[in-house]
Amino acid sequence: MARALLLFLLALLPRLLFWQATEDRELAWSLCFVGDAPVWQAQAGALAASESSRDENLSRELSLPLRPPAMTWVVSALWDGRADGAWKVRVVFALLGALVAPLLYLLARKRLGERAALLAGVLGALATNLILLSSGPHSEILYLVLLLATLFDQERLREAPTSVAALRWGALHALLCLVRVEHLLTFAALAALLVIARAPRWKTSLGLASAALLVVLLPYQLHALEATRRYQDDGGPALPRNAGRPPQFLDWQPDALARLEATPRCARAATLAFLDATMRTRGARRVTAADFDVLRQAYGALPEPLPTPFVALYGGLNFFLANSKEADGGFSNEALHRPPPLEGGDALYPPGLRDVLPKEGELNLGYPPHLHALRHGYALGFAELTGNPGDALARCGKKLLHAAEGAGGGLGAAGLPVGLGGVRRSVDLATPQQLAGRCASAAWIALGLLGLWRVRRTPSTWPWLAIVATKLAVVLAFFGYARHGALLQPFLILGVAALAAPWFQRDAVRRRVRWAGATLALGMLAYDAQRTLRGAELALDGQRVSAESAAEDRGHRARQLEVSR
């Protein structure tokens, strides 16, 4: 365990040096990777504040299970969202990130040998994109540490299963689902491997693991179902007492009022206001149930009940957004703000209607197209894919390219030899775009994949391959994030170590590698230390970043980031 501890310290130092090197050190995240960190900050601040002072959008996010809950729990336990406490978040997530290196070493030691395992640990400690993942409150690093931890019990269940290992394995996978819902796919793949490998007592192990997973997930799943029902019934403004009565409103017939009452409360007030104003514009004196079709004519959708969540509601919505032409392989919510059809022309609708539609970045469940996208996101996403297969295939290619940029990268806090910075797409990490950086990343990925291919017949390494395959499937199905590609980096590191393992059997090579590894690690740390003491400059779109301007950037749009070495 002494070597595992040394690897932990080796990984922690560049993370702390990276944090202190630039003008964004007072923030809870690095400008090299903003991601969803502002969301977690806002939610932590809202939870720490009184309910009456919360922003309306934040209150909705906290009331509805839009996202998995684990990051909200972790960040709000550490932080109240105020600037003076940001350092605690950076320290805790740096410590989490530093765990990756010893975990890689311990995973590889039995499978690849001591020296190959040390190589994996050193590379895991120094990989730049893994440093970025742990540079703030990012779900990716929490997910990665828990995922690597499950692989120890995966091996126990394959070789010498126990009831305790099976229960612990299932519980860990449940926690992973509370971090990222799509982990259920990875759990299914890893469970299938126990069957394929004909593990002893695999039926008992999977039964116990499934039971543990259900027991851990069930309390929050019941909460999510109840929260969704409660929001649907009580989550919007109440109708005025005189709703549907002249003179303030048109004369709403009983069937129209019954139809309005059947509308989810989150959309009820908006439906009343829109339909009344539209029928008034058209010269009507009363509103009937048949007039609700005007909503479909205007928006292409009718208000419907919220979907039933599994942990979170956002799966279908994200599938639609990720596969829309507006996303173009990355993240965008522009598809939510497509102009409504307004059949018959604007003259048939209230004046200025387009001016009061939800603005960019806002999810308004009182607006039928948004509610429709939340409920029917998977169907809408498949329609985007099948509507123009050629364009959809091109977007999938871009997703893989973005992920590959995250799976590559340099070493150390400065990203040597390719450097830091480059294009930082919306809510993603910055990746170098120069030819040298792309070539270095491509070579790194090729070596990692070659190493994984060489050990493909070894059952103990099958989980590595399964994780890579399922993560690529998630990238293809959802957003093409470089940060999701960075989740593959530990497994590519294991592939590189597997490729190098046969060389370490030679005495001469072992001695040289030992000195080369020590020189690399110490050299990187020395370079990172002097860079931190000197201070590194940040620039966004050519404008130098100060401590004040750093806090203004929320990572919502693509930007060019430059970081001095």
Are 380 and 401 found together in one domain? no
Specify the pLDDT at position 224: 97
Are 125 and 24 found together in one domain? yes
The pLDDT tens digits for 412-470 are 999 988 888 899 999 999 999 888 888 888 999 999 999 999 999 999 999 999 999 99
Are 450 and 336 found together in one domain? no
Q: By residue range, what is the domain housing residue 542?
A: 2-221+397-511+535-563
Are 184 and 87 found together in one domain? yes
Specify the pLDDT at position 438: 86
pLDDT band at 524; cut points 50, 70, 90: confident
Specify the pLDDT at position 555: 82
Contact (CB, 8 A) for 133 and 140: yes
Q: Is 244 part of any domain?
A: no
Contact (CB, 8 A) for 104 and 493: yes
Are 177 and 305 found together in one domain? no
Are 107 and 202 found together in one domain? yes
Q: Is 516 part of any domain?
A: no
Of the candidate ranges 84-98, 218-232, 536-550, the one whose mean pLDDT is the lowest: 536-550
Q: Is 87 part of any domain?
A: yes
Does residue 507 surpass a pLDDT of 70?
Answer: no
Are 264 and 176 found together in one domain? no
Instruction: Name beta bridge partners: 347.
Output: none
pTM of the model: 0.94
* Mean pLDDT on 528-544: 90
Q: Is 18 part of any domain?
A: yes
Alpha-carbon gap, residue 155 to 107, rounded angstroms = 10
Which of 335, 361, 386 terminates a domain? The answer is: 386
Q: Is 16 part of any domain?
A: yes
Does residue 54 surpass a pLDDT of 60?
Answer: no
Label residues 325-351 b or e (16+ Cβ within 10 Å = b): eebbbbbbbebbbeebebeeeeeebbe
Does residue 49 surpass a pLDDT of 90?
Answer: no
Label residues 357-368 b or e (16+ Cβ within 10 Å = b): eeeeeebbbbbb
The pLDDT tens digits for 260-309 are 999 999 999 999 999 999 999 999 999 999 999 999 999 999 999 999 99
Are 458 and 548 found together in one domain? yes
Are 273 and 371 found together in one domain? yes
Specify the pLDDT at position 510: 66
Average pLDDT, the chain: 93
Which of 386, 417, 434 terminates a domain? The answer is: 386
The pLDDT tens digits for 351-393 are 999 999 998 878 899 999 999 999 999 999 999 999 999 999 9
* Mean pLDDT on 140-163: 98
Q: Is 9 part of any domain?
A: yes
Which of 386, 406, 437 terminates a domain? The answer is: 386
Are 79 and 125 found together in one domain? yes
Alpha-carbon gap, residue 521 to 123, rounded angstroms = 9
Q: Is 316 part of any domain?
A: no
* Mean pLDDT on 308-320: 96
- 563 membership: H or E segment, kind and range: strand 559-563
Are 114 and 39 found together in one domain? yes
- 290 membership: H or E segment, kind and range: none
Q: How many domains does the chain have?
A: 2
Specify the pLDDT at position 378: 98
Residue 134 or 237, more confident = 134
Q: Is 235 part of any domain?
A: no
Specify the pLDDT at position 299: 97
* Mean pLDDT on 219-231: 96
Are 167 and 283 found together in one domain? no
